[in-house]
Each structure stands twice: as C-alpha cells, then as structure tokens.
Amino acid sequence: MGANLLLFYILSSQISDILSFYHKIKADWTYLCNTMNEIIQCIDAGNTAIKLGGFKQNELQEIQRFDSFETLSKYLSSEYPIVLASVREDDFAIQLKENFSIYEITSQSKTSFHNQYQNNLGADRLCNVAAMYARMKKNNHNSGGITVDIGTCVKFDYLNEAFNYVGGSISPGISLRLKSLNDYTARLPLLIAPDHKASLYGNTTSSSIYSGVMGGIKGEIEARIAEFRKLNANTAVFITGGDAHYFDFEQKNGIFADENLTLKGIHEIYVFNALHS
C-alpha cells in the first residue's frame, strides 16, 4: 500500500511538471504567433542620428531616419509596441515616454547571453552583442565574436566562445578626432568627416589630417581584430555604425558588415524579455 502511494505521488509530480512545461511552451508559442503578425517599432537613438526600424514576422521591413522627437513622433503608432535603445543625453527619451507607452532597453535588460560587464553597459553596445549572438546561434558559430561599431566612438564588444559577454573597448570616432586636433592645436583647421575615401598620404594640411585620422582608425580596427583572433582564430567580426561606410573591410574570413545590427539587437532583446517576463 505504501509503495503504491509513493509511486502515485511520483507519477503525479512528474505529470504536474509536464503540464507546467506544456502550458509554458503553449504560452510562448501563442506569444510568438501574435508577435509574428504585429509590427514592432524599434528606435535606435544614437548621439547623432535616430533610426526607426519596423519589424514584422521577425524581419526588418523598413528603416527611416530622423533628427528629432518631433519628426519621429509623426511616424509612430500607439497600436503597436514601441521599443527604445538610447544613448542620448537630451530630453528625447522623456518626450517619447510622455507621449507613448514604450519598452526601454537598458543595461539591466535580460539577454539570451551571459553579461559579465561590471557596470552600466550602453544600450547600443548591448543590442549589438544581442544581434551578433542571434546570428551566431543561427549559423552554429561557436568560436566567439566581436562587434565593431564605428560612429561617434569606435566601440569593440567581445562575446567569447562560451557566449559570455566579457567586455570591450571605446575610442574616439572620426568627428571626435577631427575636433580634438582643432581644439588642442593652434593652427590645425576644424574639418568635418570627408565625403571621399582618404588617401594613404596627404599633400595639404587638410588631406594630411584626413589621411591620419581615417588611416589611424582603420589601422586600429584591423590591429584589434588581429589581437582578438589570437584568442581564437575563428572569431567572427560584425561591423556596423553610421561611419562604417568610410572604410573598406573585405567581407570574407568571418567579417560581416551590417548597418542595422543595433536595430536587430533591439528587436532580439525585446522578444526575449517578452518571453521571459
């Protein structure tokens, strides 16, 4: 009699666990089906530009660029989810929250990878790693990867082969380097980012500055990629950012360019958190 009761208890417990697992899978599946049929509005608010990406059926459908909340707000719909990742210091996020219900990605957002960063990680960097992780998992790439975001700053972020985010680096981008040369010298002019590829050497002051700044950034990126690949020769590289188009990096040997990496990461983190809330 006692043995039968014990067996009944064990079976009941296992059935309860199975039913609980079934209901969770069913809820996740229902959510995914609903998500597939709605538009998710993802906002990448960088230091110099605001990008709006519309996702449907887990695919990026369209992209628009704006310079302020006023111009962006005309294209947002309260009918669909609005997801924000911002590194701006102005009142953009405040205005957005006052007028719309949004989900904001922060350093505290849950991710599908293990985040070992010691303090507040920028939302853009977190999203870049999330997009890279999703791409690597989809392609069964298990040798780690780095993202290189070339914008106001040049940012590297490293996900090791155990899919742990362990950190990265930040250095000045094109505009910051050009501005610093003017700020901290007596005679060097203030230049803006060039509208052409910089040459190996310059024969005027301006072309020499462009050669040094652009060549210096490219050399820095190539050298750091080589250093990371000393850790693992098969480390994947994902290049993104508003100023990435100034540089030619051959898309071979595990180097990929994706100007919308941050937007895709915003979408990945939103879906992951919706499933694990």
Cα 127 to Cα 110: distance, rounded to the nearest angstrom: 11
Whether 165 is in a domain gets the answer yes
2-11, 60-69, 104-113, 240-249, range with the lowest pLDDT: 2-11
- Domains contained in the chain, number: 2
Same domain for 208 and 120? no
35-39, 217-221, 251-255, 271-275, range with the lowest pLDDT: 35-39
The pTM of the full predicted model, rounded to 2 decimals, is: 0.85
Average pLDDT in the 14-26 region?
52
Query: What is the Cα 155 distance to its own chain's centre?
Result: 11
pLDDT of residue 250: 74
Q: What would the two tokens of residue 116 be?
A: 């070992």
**37 pLDDT band (50/70/90 cuts)?**
low
Phi, psi of 92 (to 5 degrees): -60, -50
Phi, psi of 129 (to 5 degrees): -65, -40
Same domain for 192 and 234? yes
| Whether 216 contacts 247, CB under 8 Å | no
pLDDT of 33 above 80: no
- With a pLDDT cut of 70, the percent of the chain lying above it is 86
pLDDT of 29 above 50: no
pLDDT of residue 4: 61
Fill in the amino acid letter for 190: L
pLDDT of 231 above 70: yes
Which of 44, 124, 149, 157 is the catalytic position? 124
Whether 57 is in a domain gets the answer yes
Q: What is the pLDDT of residues 66-111, one digit of tens each?
A: 999 999 999 999 999 999 999 998 899 999 999 999 999 999 999 9
pLDDT of 10 above 70: no
Whether 171 is in a domain gets the answer yes
Q: Is 124 designated active site?
A: yes
Whether 14 is in a domain gets the answer no
Same domain for 252 and 269? no
HSE value, Cβ hemisphere, 13 Å, CA-based, for 97: 10
Q: What would the two tokens of residue 239 be?
A: 């290049």
Whether 109 is in a domain gets the answer yes
Q: What is the pLDDT of residues 115-149, one digit of tens each?
A: 999 888 999 999 999 999 999 999 998 889 999 99
Whether 187 is in a domain gets the answer yes
Strands 236-240 and 164-172: unpaired
pLDDT of residue 89: 85
Give the chain's mean pLDDT.
Answer: 88
Cα 179 to Cα 177: distance, rounded to the nearest angstrom: 5
HSE value, Cβ hemisphere, 13 Å, CA-based, for 40: 26
pLDDT of residue 8: 55
Same domain for 157 and 248? yes
Domain housing 250: 145-261
Residue 112: which CATH number?
3.30.420.40
CB atoms within 10 A of CB 113: 20
Cα 67 to Cα 275: distance, rounded to the nearest angstrom: 32
pLDDT of residue 24: 45
DSSP string, the chain: -HHHHHHHHHHHHHHHHHHHHHHHHHHHHHHHHHHHTS-EEEEEE-SS-EEEEEEETTEEEEEEEESSHHHHHTT--TTS-EEEEE---SSHHHHHHHHS--EE--TTS--SSEE--SS---HHHHHHHHHHHHHHHHTT--S-EEEEEESSEEEEEEE-TTSEEEEEEEEE-HHHHHHHHHHTSSSPPP-PPPSSPPPSS-SSHHHHHHHHHHHHHHHHHHHHHHHHHHH-TT-EEEEESTTGGGS---S-TTEEE-TTHHHHHHHHHHHHHHHT-
Same domain for 182 and 229? yes
